[in-house]
């Protein structure tokens, strides 16, 4: 009887989406170390600039801490300032529902000390970001993490400027430049004409 009740409860909670397969961010061990090349406040251009990320085990922990780490995934994540009023970027402790980290920089088998240079994808929108790494066990569940921002995600952030906004300003710049060239050409033409007239007189 009791076991039936238990099963019913389990099914009920699974239906609510809190199955035991779901991992909470707050339950992860903070045993990784991740660093990224951008400086605090730096502005990078999507599709052009690159980010170098380095990750591994925090050397303060004994070797063996990471024996269950099979995979590692390094992500680009939205800083709180770029999540305001945007439910689709919301931070949820349940990692199955968390929308903080939407861009994968790299996803590969775990090793103690690795580094990669990543050219920022062209589809990354303008926002403020930080970098976070997760280690996964053989069941594909997050078990450990680190991030470049502090715990409150308020310092050591950088900005990425989307390609679209930049192209727009480039277009405006080139239109202005063309108009300016046309005007100068016209001005030059007029000046020449009046000079010739002066010579004639
Ligand atoms: C490694 O972990 C220790 C203990 O938690 C912490 O004090 C230290 O800041 C960490 N090192 C890095 C580089 O994150
Ligand atoms: C990681 O490797 C780099 C060179 O690839 C080296 O400079 C660095 O000291 C290594 N870090 C650790 C913690 O082993």
pLDDT greater than 60 at residue 15: no
Nearest Cα residue to atom 1 of ligand 2: 113
Is 113 touching ligand 2 by the criterion CB < 6 Å?
Answer: yes
- Residue 155 pLDDT level (bands cut at 50, 70, 90): very high
101-109 vs 127-136, strand pairing mode: unpaired
Would you state the structure tokens that stand for residue 38, as one six-digit string?
């951008």
Is 52 touching ligand 2 by the criterion CB < 6 Å?
Answer: no
Mean pLDDT, the chain, rounded, equals 86
For the chain, what are the domain ranges?
Answer: 23-161, 167-201
- Identify whether the C-beta of residue 133 lies closer than 8 Å to the C-beta of residue 145: yes
Average pLDDT over residues 2-18: 55
Instruction: Return the ligand 2 atom nearest residue 113 CA.
Output: 1
Q: What is the pLDDT of residue 16?
A: 52
| Residue 148 DSSP class | S
Strands (E), the chain: 32-36, 43-45, 50-57, 71-78, 101-109, 113-119, 127-136, 142-147, 158-161
Distance of CA 167 to the CA centre of its chain: 20
* Least trusted range by pLDDT, from 16-25, 28-37, 128-137: 16-25
Residue with tokens 């050409």: 185
Is 62 touching ligand 1 by the criterion CB < 6 Å?
Answer: no
Compute the distance from residue 180 Cα to the ligand 2 centre, in Å.
53
Average pLDDT over residues 150-177: 79
- Identify whether the C-beta of residue 179 lies closer than 8 Å to the C-beta of residue 67: no
50-57 vs 158-161, strand pairing mode: unpaired
Average pLDDT over residues 85-92: 96
Provide CATH code, domain 23-161: 2.60.40.1930
Cross-strand pairs, 73: 107, 134
């Amino acid at each position: 009887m009791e076991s039936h009740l238990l099963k019913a409860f389990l099914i009920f909670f699974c239906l609510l989406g809190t199955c035991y397969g779901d991992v909470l961010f707050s339950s992860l061990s903070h045993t990784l170390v991740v660093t990224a090349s951008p400086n605090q406040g730096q502005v990078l251009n999507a599709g052009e600039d690159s980010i170098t990320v380095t990750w591994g085990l925090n050397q303060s922990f004994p070797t063996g801490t990471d024996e269950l780490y099979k995979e590692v995934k390094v992500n680009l994540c939205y800083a709180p300032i770029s999540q305001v009023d945007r439910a689709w970027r919301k931070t949820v402790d349940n990692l199955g529902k968390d929308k903080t980290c939407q861009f994968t920089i790299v996803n590969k088998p775990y090793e103690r000390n690795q580094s990669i240079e990543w050219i920022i994808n062209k589809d990354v929108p303008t926002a403020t970001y930080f970098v976070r790494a997760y280690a996964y066990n053989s069941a594909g569940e997050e078990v450990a993490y680190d991030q470049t921002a502090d715990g409150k995600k308020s310092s050591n952030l950088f900005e990425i400027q989307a390609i679209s906004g930049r192209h727009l300003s480039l277009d405006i710049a080139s239109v202005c430049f063309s108009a300016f060239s046309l005007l100068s050409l016209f001005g030059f033409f007029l000046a020449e004409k009046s000079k010739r007239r002066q010579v004639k007189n």
